[in-house]
Amino acid sequence: MRTGFLIDMDGVLYRGGELIPGADQFVNLLLEQRIPFLFLTNNSQRTRRDVATKVQRMGIPIEERHVFTCAMATARFLSQQKPGGTAYVIGEGGLLTALHRNGYAIVDKAPDYVVVGEGRTLTFEMLETAVQMIMDGAKLIATNLDPNCPTGNGGTRPGCGAIVALLEAATGVKAFSVGKPSPVMMRAARKELNLAASETIMIGDTMETDILGGVQLGYYTVLVLSGGTSRNDLRGYGYRPELIVDSLADLCPQGRLVDIVPTSNRDDDTPMDIRQWALTH
């Protein structure tokens, strides 16, 4: 059976700037065996080229095509919703680049959307501007709802979700989120690899994003304990991953990939293309 992998990054591949032992061996095996995979990140700050370069400097020879960010998912979604639209952006280069590449103009007056990502240069003036735009009718879009994110020095700073919560409270408008665990990003990543849901394996360290998104879409889910989740934490969730391992190293003992094959019978598997579905039904 054909399979492919969607792989979270922080806590799975690396912690901060340090590669998690065994992660490089796992990815190298995927490359050697030509198994399709994508790294998924809810960080909208960096472009896919920036992310790929960071991973390459850790000794893993991936390419840009192996990276899929929430900024890319957001920009593609908006280009489908309103081609050639406009956006006021709270965010950084990765989000701005993705929007430009998908035909969007960045404006500071009367935008179609207020789009929120991570940012280290946030000011109260920017928030005030965004609030008024939303009150005037602009739609509120979040690249993700992560409440915080790690910093390079091991600390934590407010994430996109925290900024969005402020805007929601100030305007009474609920944001639409595109990043993990949203099916918008999770399906788009799977379709990028030309896989069916029953062929897709999601590997992550966070129950609320990676595992939840995978479970909701019928992917085979693998939880690694190298990030922010412990076995004891699982008691608090009404859903579980199919497989739990300490790290990616457990998926390639003795230099061989563990044979992970989704075994659930999903006769109602999500079609990859509506025209294809129509032809087969």
Q: What residues are annotated to the active site?
A: 8, 10
Report whether 11 contacts 224 (CB < 8 A): yes
For residue 86, the surrounding DSSP H or E stretch is strand 86-90
Q: Which residues contact 277 (CB under 8 A, 6 or more apart)?
A: 271
The one-letter amino acid at 189: A
Report whether 45 contacts 122 (CB < 8 A): no
The DSSP bridge pattern shows strands 176-177 and 14-15 to be unpaired
**Beta-bridge partners for 150:** 156
At 201 the three-state DSSP class reads strand
Q: Where are the alpha helices (DSSP H) in the chain?
A: 23-32, 48-57, 70-81, 93-101, 124-135, 160-171, 183-192, 212-216, 274-280
For CA atoms 12, 18, 23, 27, give the dihedral sign. positive
User: Long-range CB contacts (< 8 A, 24+ apart) of 254-261?
Assistant: 255/25, 255/29, 256/29, 257/26, 257/29, 257/30, 257/33, 257/35, 260/3, 260/201, 260/220, 260/222, 261/1, 261/3
